[in-house]
Amino acid sequence: MQRTISTVLAAAALLAGIARPAAAQPAEAIQQTPPVAPEAQPATDVQQVPPVVPVAQPATDVQQVPPVVLVAQPATDIQQSPPVVPVAQPATDVQQSPPVVPVAQPAADVQQVPPVVPEVEVAATVQQKVPEARPKRLPIFGVMVDVGVPDGLIGSLTIRPRKWVRVSGGGGSNGISGGWRAGVTLLPFGAGPSASLEYGQYQDGDANAMAKTFGFGSSPVLQRVGYQYMNAHLGLDFGSRRFVFFIHGGVTMLRGQIHNLDALIPSPPAGDASATGTTEVTVRQDPSAKAIGPSVKLGLIVYVW
């Protein structure tokens, strides 16, 4: 049977171009030769080569090779050879190379560039334009009432184009007749000290009624009393906006004419012999009279616009 199998295998090998194998011998005729084991060299003669440690690559870079699967042959045809066991090297002879660690530079050698911070203007240097509060406009037009000597009672309209100047004009009465007055007042500080210059005139009127009020008798001279006057006053004005109260005083110059003066000169009765050789006085023109005296007045101003 074994010879038949050997013949078939040889024929197949010739057809396939394969060299003819040696004829199989019976199992009992096969001389089993024991495997020759290499002589183990002593550990001192082995040159220990330090293992080369490959640099570990990340898991993503490792190419995994699929394992090679060997086809198992029948146990009867396989000649089993004893495995060659390599001689294990002692751990003390293995030269381990230390891992290369990069030298870290000290923090002092690192040049740190400070961040560029934009300049911020200090609030104190920023010039803020604050709108200036405009002062309220002073009222310009007002009404003034004052009473004094020789002014009498006067009601006037007053205009204040500037806070330091005031112009007024109006009319009134001195108790004898009607008249008018105009003037200007200067206030250097807008209020307080003031200086006034005024001019006025009263028409002729009968002053006998006023004379009787003060206990005097009637007189032909008082039947026509009129005058012009000029005031030069210093004073104080209190208030500056809507209401102003003032007191002024100074000197006044009066000028007027004396009427009916000839009526005061007695004339001798007609047919009186004793009057012969006496002087007769005749007034052909009313004389003028001037007088300068003190004057004072009080007043109130109300500004309406």
DSSP string, 186-211: E-TTSSEEEEEEEEEEEEEE--HHHH
Cα distance between residue 40 and residue 145, in whole Å: 148
Q: Which residue has the tokens 């007055």?
A: 181
pLDDT score of 96: 56
The predicted-structure confidence for 53-103, as pLDDT tens digits, reads as follows 445 454 444 455 455 444 445 444 445 555 555 555 554 444 555 565 555
Q: Check pLDDT > 80 for residue 45.
A: no
Distance of CA 172 to the CA centre of its chain: 57
Structure tokens at 15: 């057809």
Q: What six digits make up the tokens of 280?
A: 């007769």
Q: What percent of the chain has pLDDT over 90?
A: 42
**Strand 192-205 to 243-257 pairing:** unpaired
Classify 296 as helix, strand or coil: strand
Query: What architecture is domain 141-269+286-303?
Result: Beta Barrel (2.40)
**Do residues 89 and 48 touch, judged by C-beta distance below 8 A?**
yes
Give the model's confidence band at 248: pLDDT under 50 very low, under 70 low, under 90 confident, else very high.
Answer: very high
Show Cβ contacts of residue 175 under 8 Å, excluding neighbours closer than 6 positions: 152, 210
pLDDT in tens, 156-168: 999 999 999 999 9
Alpha carbon distance 238, 15 (integer Å)? 151
Instruction: From 291, 171, 170, 185, select the one nearest 229 (Cα to Cα).
Output: 291
Of 221, 218, 282, 284, nearest in space to 256 by CA? 221
Question: What pLDDT is stored for residue 292 in this prediction?
Answer: 97
Domain ranges of the chain: 141-269+286-303
| pLDDT at residue 74, rounded to an integer | 47
Residue 200 has pLDDT above 90, yes or no: yes
Radius of gyration of the chain (CA): 74
How confident is the model over 125-163, as pLDDT tens digits?
445 665 666 778 899 999 999 999 999 999 999 999 999
| Token output for 155 | 């009601």
